[in-house]
Structure 1
Amino acid sequence: MKKTPAALAAALLLGALPAHGFEIGEFAGSTVSFEGLLQSDHYWYDSDRAPLDGDPGDGDDSDHGIRRAELVLKGDGPGGLDWVVGYDAEGESWLDVNAGFDLGGGHAVRVGQFKQPIGLEELSSSKNNDFVSKAAATNAFATSRRLGASYGYGGDGWSLTASAFGRNLTSGGAHGSGYGVRATWAPVNDGGRTLHLGLAHVDHDTDADTLRLRVRPQADMAGDRLVDTGTLTDADRLATTGIEGLWMAGPLKLQAEYMQGDVDRLAGPDFTASGGYLSAVYNLTGEGWSYRGGVPRTASPAGPRGMWQLAARADTLDFDDAGIEGGRMDAFTVGVNWYYRDNFKVALNWSSIDSERAGLPDDPSIIALRGQMHW
């Protein structure tokens, strides 16, 4: 059914948002829909050594603003074709811009810009992140979106993905051609229980033989990074290997990843960085989880009062190696999430951080609040 602009506006005002986008209509045999994601964040810092306020001139040790304003057009059909064009108006960056084709028999190909096959947390949808900020290891090592082509082959409880890629579509985005592979296996996937194991590897060229690894401390708007290698010169390639583990049973989800990045340098000694996390999420209102395409899926709220979650995560990052003092950071985060229908979410996190760089400790804590609307 087609919806006019007036009908769309009325739906927004009344909160009658669809769960999976507004269906615009059918064009050339493709059913087209429009989706959106709006996230507004607020962070309060108890800074230690480094001031974390992204706007230090305001005299307030906090940050707030729009984190994501994503607008996405999707098409399904004809036949096994699907396509997507996404843009983040806040970040002024292109999201998924690609077309895929289901070849049948578990085979599929995709061409365009898409997330490269590494990082269980990165490959999951941003609208269902378990925490306000992704784990430090994910932010440090996940390759995210690049232009390229991929081939996937999978069956009941297993998948194989291979890709070749170049730069990011956004002007000024990441550069460096490379390849990625990911294999997943779910030996248990029935009766509300899932055990997932995954292994991934991405290898790519650096931009102008330079590389810099740095990560914000559990706050996407923080003005400082507590771990930072600085610019590594003579850095030829970065090879990242990731190991994934996931267990879901009833309302419980346990998830863990470990990633290691190896920098091949032309002159100086090679450099290795590593990190990982372990997280637990429990649906207090009893909803379960689903599993598809090698990633977990968050359930819809079962009752009119929405879905409540409790979450905890421990993550670590090490950028000290080969004489480079990029720093080490350990963080512990606890949080609560509330989903109202499929469209609204509120997330509240508290993080305690223990870091050290070049012999100087820095141990802040952060409160993060996110409001989210999705259609």
Structure 2
Amino acid sequence: MLPAKTPTLSRLSLSLALLLAGAASAAHAEVAIDVIGGSEISFEGLVQADGNWFDNDLADLNGAGANGSDSEFELRRAELVLKGKGPGNIDWVVGYDAKADKYLDVNARYKFGGNGNTFLQLGQFKQPNSLEELSSTKNNDFISKATVTNTFATARRLGAAAGYGDGNWSVTASVFGRELTRNLAHGSGHGVRATWAPVNGEGNVVHLGLSYVDNDTDTLRLRARPNADLATQRLVDTGTLANTDRLRTVGLEGMWIKGPFKLQGEYYSADVSRYGEGVGDFGGDGWYLSGLWNITGETWGYRSGVPTTGLPDAPASGKWQLGLRYDTLDLDDGRLLAAAVPGGAPRVDGVLGGKQDAWTIGANWYWRSNFKFALNYVMVDSSRYSASAGTVVDDNPNILEARAQFHW
């Protein structure tokens, strides 16, 4: 088993080396390269190294003791991004994650009148849904996105989008196909997201949003990790849903920023259309609510329907944040019936994928312009029908998570 872990340790060592090397360099948000053909080209990167320590209940979240311990260490992301501004109102981006071996944003956008909310876009980009999914990865409030976001939000796909709006409201619509990297997400569809900020001032924002995504799917499996990105086991899982036709997801968003405080929440409802005799449709839903406090007094900005995270007011001591989040996911859409024979196992009518609730307590430290360190503690309560046990089984683990991040 140990040799199989060697590449993981090498990637972790590489990421830590980059983190330490960056400490000796001047702090910059990006590296300017040149102006070619009227386009100002810059280079950005993001390296994240994660550690998870599992206090397992029933399931071994670390993959049946794959490395002989209850911990996991991994290079989470190694993103390399080229960006261009110009010529004119055109901007473009080419991103690649060397850790996941997949393309990130690869697109070009034309902004009408220089307005970032009124545009045409072609290529691969995050689809117009989910406040948390659209927010910058390097500034996520918690190490893992909410369970319901990871399950229902539609991320990057190849397609075309059009947006219209201003600083206080926006409407974005898209059509999309598969993910650019082969053998990943596929299925054509369309989406739309509308946002409105009735209050939009410095350190004082109220945001409301509504989204809808509809895409086709031949087979589908909905499942979720226990708010730990390095966990190899899922505690809630619908199994493979055969004969699926369409997946339709509705999302509701809300956010309130008041000085150093941010309150944010989302609700998702997903409906799966299925065909075939004796096969019923499936529905699942979930939501999260999170609160964040900048202890050092900084606030957030707001642009294009998402919050923006600024630099520390005092770079030498950095910016400190405390956060708390509750999220819940329900993948049960069925019931248990009496056994076909006396003493036999109950029969399942529908799909019983399980329910999962989680509390996450977190602390973030942004140091200077390039570094972020995060520590999270996650408490999970899950329940799912087990065919082998013939009953609903509870599994309630706890996880300690840490992340070191270097961005330029």
Query: Letter of the aligned partner of 1:151 in structure 2?
Result: A
**Alignment pair present for 1:17 and 2:18:** no
- The residue that corresponds to 1:83 in the other structure is 92
- The residue that corresponds to 1:3 in the other structure is none
Please state how far the C-alpha of 1:155 moved relative to its aligned partner: 1.4
Query: Letter of the aligned partner of 2:374 in structure 1?
Result: A
**Alignment pair present for 1:129 and 2:137:** no
Please state how far the C-alpha of 1:56 moved relative to its aligned partner: 1.7
- The residue that corresponds to 2:127 in the other structure is 116
Q: Residue 177 of structure 1 is aligned with which of 173, 180, 188?
A: 188
RMSD of the alignment, in Å? 1.6
- The residue that corresponds to 2:177 in the other structure is 166
Q: Residue 299 of structure 1 is aligned with which of 310, 317, 326?
A: 310
CA 1:191–1:174: 2 relative to 1, 3 Å: closer
SS for the counterpart of 2:149 is: helix
CA deviations on 1:63-98 (whole Å, 9 max, x unpaired) are 111000000000000100000000000000110000
Matches within 5 A, 1:235-250: 235-250=244-259
Q: Residue 42 of structure 1 is aligned with which of 47, 51, 55?
A: 51
Matches within 5 A, 1:1-375: 12=22, 14-19=24-29, 21-54=30-63, 56-104=65-113, 107-206=118-217, 209-267=218-276, 268-303=279-314, 304-322=316-334, 323-358=350-385, 359-375=392-408
CA 1:114–1:337: 2 relative to 1, 3 Å: same
State the percentage of identical aligned residues.
Answer: 57
CA deviations on 1:103-131 (whole Å, 9 max, x unpaired) are 22652100000000111000000000000
Using the size of structure 2 for normalisation, the TM-score is 0.87
Whether the 8 Å contact between 1:11 and 1:17 is mirrored in structure 2 is no
Please state how far the C-alpha of 1:191 moved relative to its aligned partner: 4.3
CA distance in structure 2 between the aligned counterparts of 1:56 and 1:18, rounded to whole angstroms? 41
CA distance in structure 1 between the aligned counterparts of 2:144 and 2:22, rounded to whole angstroms? 27
Whether the 8 Å contact between 2:27 and 2:368 is mirrored in structure 1 is no
Query: Letter of the aligned partner of 1:14 in structure 2?
Result: A
CA distance in structure 2 between the aligned counterparts of 1:26 and 1:56, rounded to whole angstroms? 52
SS for the counterpart of 1:91 is: coil
Please state how far the C-alpha of 1:234 moved relative to its aligned partner: 0.7
The structure with the larger Rg is 2
Using the size of structure 1 for normalisation, the TM-score is 0.95
Whether the 8 Å contact between 1:211 and 1:233 is mirrored in structure 2 is yes
CA distance in structure 2 between the aligned counterparts of 1:282 and 1:93, rounded to whole angstroms? 34
CA deviations on 1:213-245 (whole Å, 9 max, x unpaired) are 011111101010011100000110100000000
Whether the 8 Å contact between 1:55 and 1:63 is mirrored in structure 2 is no
Whether the 8 Å contact between 2:118 and 2:166 is mirrored in structure 1 is no
CA distance in structure 1 between the aligned counterparts of 2:92 and 2:63, rounded to whole angstroms? 37
CA distance in structure 2 between the aligned counterparts of 1:273 and 1:82, rounded to whole angstroms? 38
Whether the 8 Å contact between 1:110 and 1:150 is mirrored in structure 2 is yes
Whether the 8 Å contact between 1:54 and 1:63 is mirrored in structure 2 is no
SS for the counterpart of 1:137 is: helix
Point out where structure 2 has 5 or more consecutive residues left out of the alignment. Answer: 1-17, 335-349, 386-391
Query: Letter of the aligned partner of 1:213 in structure 2?
Result: L
